[in-house]
Amino acid sequence: MGCTRFELCQAHKDPMNTMHTTSPSTNPCLGISRRRWTIPLLLFLVALAAGSIFQGSRGLYDRDETRYAECAREMLETRNFLVPQRDFRPHLTKPPMTYWAIAAGMKIFGKNEWGVRSPNALAFALTVLLVALIGRLLCDKDQGLMAGVVYMSMIFPFAASSIVTTDTLLVLWEVAAIWAFLAGYKSNTPSQATRWFVLMYIFWALGFLTKGVAILPVASAPVIFWLLNRRKFVKSPLTYTGMLLFTLLGMGWYIVLALSHPGAFSVFVNEQIIGRLFSNSLHRNSAWYAPFYLYLPILLLGPLPWSLLWPAMIKNIPPGHNGNRRNIDTRRNHAVAAIRRIHATIIEALRNKSGLQLIALWWAIPLIIFCLARSRLPLYILPLFAPMALVTVMGLEYLPGRIKGLCKPTHGYTPLIAPCPIFLWMVFLIVLKGASATVTMPQNARTLYEKVASHLTKSTLILADCDLNLDGLAFYSGKNIEYLAKDDTSCQRTDDTWANEMAEMAKDGTPRIFIIPLDEPYALSPKGSSKGIPGGITGTNLPNDMYMVYVPALAPKRVTDNDLAMDNIRGWNSIMVSGEQVSKQHMRY
C-alpha cells in the first residue's frame, strides 16, 4: 500500500501520530528489518558507484574547489588539523570539517582530484541511503527505496556531488539529523527516544563543524514541528546530554579558536552571519529579485527528470477530503484549479499532523531564509532536494497508470536498478559527467599547472600579483605561492612588495616564475617578442587573462640595485617593473 492521499501508510492513517508495536526482527526507528538490509546497502553501493565514476577526471576549478583542496593539502603538510590554513596562514572563514574530509580522502587516494572529491561521493551515497530510510519511516519499504532512487537521480544533487564545496557534506549531516529526529519521534519508550535525539544532536554538531550557522534553516523545521506536536512525543528532544555533546563537538572548535586567535570570533560573526544574511559584502546575488533568476530555475530544473511528472501529479490530486471541494470548471481554468487542489491538500495534511507537515517545514523554512538572505549561491538550496524527493515519491500515486508503470515499481519489484527509464537516465548522467571533463574551461587549474609545469624545478619560486588567486597552482605544484603588491598596504593577501622581490632576485639569482594579470599596468612584463627574449627569459599567455614570465637562474652580478628601481622602465635583461599607466596593447609581450 502506497502513501495515498499524502497520508502515511503502515496499517495506520498516520503512524507519525501513533506509537505502533513491531515484531522483534524490526526496528521501527530504522524503518527497516534487521534481516533486510541487503537492498538498502545495495542502493548505497549503486549511489556510491554513480557518484565516484569520473570523479577525478576533471581538473579542480578555481576558486572554490582549489581553495578547499589547497587548505586540506596544507593541513597534511603542516600536520596542523586544528587551524585551517591558506598560503600557510590561518584561514578561518569556514570550520574544518570539509578540510578534514578532503585531507582524509587525499591520505587514502593521493593528492589528486580523486582524493579531493571522494568525500563528496561518499556523502552523496550516504544521503541517498538516509533519504530512503526516512521514506521507510514515513511510508513503506518500497516507497522508501524509491525515495532514495529519486534523490540519486535528480540532476542537481548528482551534479553537486562532483563539486568540491561544503554543501554536499552539510546536506548529509542535515538529512541524518532529520532521520534521527523522526526515529526519536516514532520511538515507543522514552529511553529509546533519548538515544535517537542524542544522535540527532551529534549530527547537528557535525553540520555546525561543516558550515556553522548554515544548519539553522533546516534545523528550524524539527523545532517548529516539535512545538506543534509536543503532546505526541514520548520524550522531549531537548536533552541535556544532547545539548552538551553539541556544545563540545559543534562549538568546541569555535571556542578554542576564539581564545587562541584574536579576531577569530569577529571573522565568524562577520563572515558567517552578518556577511551572508544582512550585508552585500560578499557580492553574491544580493538584489531582492535574485531568487527568481537564481533559485527558481534550479527548483524547476534541478529535480529533472522528476519535475516533468509534477504537472500530471498536480492534475490528479483530489481537491480535499473533508468537504472542501471547489466548484471549478477545470476545462476553462486549469491554473486556478491546480492551485486550489494544492492548497486544499497542503492545508488538510497540516491539519491532520501527518508526516507531510515535517516535510513541508523542512522545505519551506529554509527556502524563505535563503531568499531573504543577502548572500545567494546556487548550491545554497541543495538542502531542499531531499524533501522534494520524498514529496515526489508520495505524488507518484497520482500519476496515470501508464506513466506510473514507467517510474514506479510494481509489487515485489525493487526500484533499485529499474524501471528501465530510471536506469537509462542514470547512465546518461554518468556519461554527461564524463563528457564534462573533456571540455576545456578557463577556470580549470590543472590546465594552468600544465602550462607552468615545464619551468618548475625544486628550487623554482612562484610569485604572483596579489590580486590573483592561485590556490590550484599551489595544490598541483606543491609549492607555496608568494603574492606581491605595489606596497605594503595595497592588498590584504601580501607576502612582499615588488621592489623587495626585485632586490632579492638581484642577489640570489634563484629561478622565478612571475604570474601577472594581463590588464594590470603595474606589473612585471618582458620587453620585446615572446619568441626571442634574450637571457633565457620567456613569456607565456595563461588562462583567465594571466601572463607568465619565467626568469631562469641568472648571475646576480649582471644587475645592480639602481637598475631595479621601481620607476626604471629601462628594465633588466628584458624585464621591467613599471608604475606608469601603460595600456594593455602597449605592453610588449
Cα distance between residue 177 and residue 201, in whole Å: 7
Is 515:552 a contact under the CB 8 Å cutoff?
no
Cα distance between residue 83 and residue 91, in whole Å: 7
Is 285:371 a contact under the CB 8 Å cutoff?
no
186 φ, ψ (degrees, to nearest 5): -90, 0
Domain boundaries, the chain: 285-408, 445-586
Burial class (CB in 10 A: 0-12, 13-18, 19+), 282: middle
User: Rounded to the nearest 5 degrees, what angle is found at the Cα of 547, between the Cα atoms of 546 and 553?
Assistant: 140
Q: Give the chain's count of helices (H) and strands (E).
A: 22, 12
Is 328:422 a contact under the CB 8 Å cutoff?
no
Helix 216-228 × helix 355-372 angle, to 10°: 140
Residue in this structure with the C-alpha cell 471549478, named with its chain if needed:
328
Cα distance between residue 317 and residue 406, in whole Å: 19
Cα distance between residue 455 and residue 170, in whole Å: 40
Confidence (pLDDT) at 23: 42
- Please, which residues have CB within 8 angstroms of residue 37's CB and are 6 or more apart in sequence? none
Nearest to 93 by CA among 277, 273, 283, 286: 273
Q: Where are the beta strands (DSSP E) in 176-273?
A: none
Neighbours of 454 (CB within 10 A): 8
**Beta-sheet pairing, 512-517 with 461-465:** parallel
Confidence (pLDDT) at 570: 30
Cα distance between residue 258 and residue 236, in whole Å: 32
| Cell numbers standing for residue 232 | 505526541
Cα distance between residue 433 and residue 51, in whole Å: 10
Neighbours of 424 (CB within 10 A): 11
Cα distance between residue 391 and residue 388, in whole Å: 5
Confidence (pLDDT) at 17: 46
- Alpha carbon of residue 58 to chain centroid: 17
Is 539:531 a contact under the CB 8 Å cutoff?
no
202 φ, ψ (degrees, to nearest 5): -65, -45
Residues in a beta bridge with 444: 61
Confidence (pLDDT) at 518: 75
Confidence (pLDDT) at 167: 96
Nearest to 361 by CA among 184, 203, 213, 223: 223
Confidence (pLDDT) at 363: 95
Confidence (pLDDT) at 339: 65
Cα distance between residue 574 and residue 559, in whole Å: 12
| Cell numbers standing for residue 319 | 481537491
Helix 167-185 × helix 113-138 angle, to 10°: 20
Residue in this structure with the C-alpha cell 640570489, named with its chain if needed:
508
17 φ, ψ (degrees, to nearest 5): -105, 0
Is 75:81 a contact under the CB 8 Å cutoff?
yes
DSSP H or E stretch at residue 549: strand 546-551
- Please, which residues have CB within 8 angstroms of residue 399's CB and are 6 or more apart in sequence? 309, 312, 313, 316, 407, 408
Longest dimension (CA), the chain: 96
In tens digits, the chain (589 residues) has pLDDT values of 344 333 444 333 344 444 343 444 445 445 455 556 788 899 999 999 999 999 999 999 988 999 999 999 999 999 999 999 999 999 988 999 999 999 999 999 999 999 999 999 999 999 999 999 999 998 877 788 899 999 999 999 999 999 999 999 999 999 999 999 999 999 999 999 999 999 999 999 999 999 999 999 999 999 999 998 898 999 999 999 999 999 999 999 999 999 988 888 887 877 777 766 766 766 778 888 999 999 999 999 999 999 998 888 887 776 554 444 444 444 446 666 666 666 666 666 566 556 788 999 999 999 999 999 888 999 999 999 999 999 999 888 887 765 665 555 544 444 444 457 888 899 999 999 999 989 988 899 999 999 998 888 888 888 888 888 899 999 999 998 999 887 666 577 788 887 788 777 767 778 888 888 877 644 444 433 333 333 456 778 888 888 888 887 754 444 444 443 333 323 333 333 333 332 233 233 2
| Cell numbers standing for residue 65 | 574547489
Cα distance between residue 400 and residue 420, in whole Å: 18
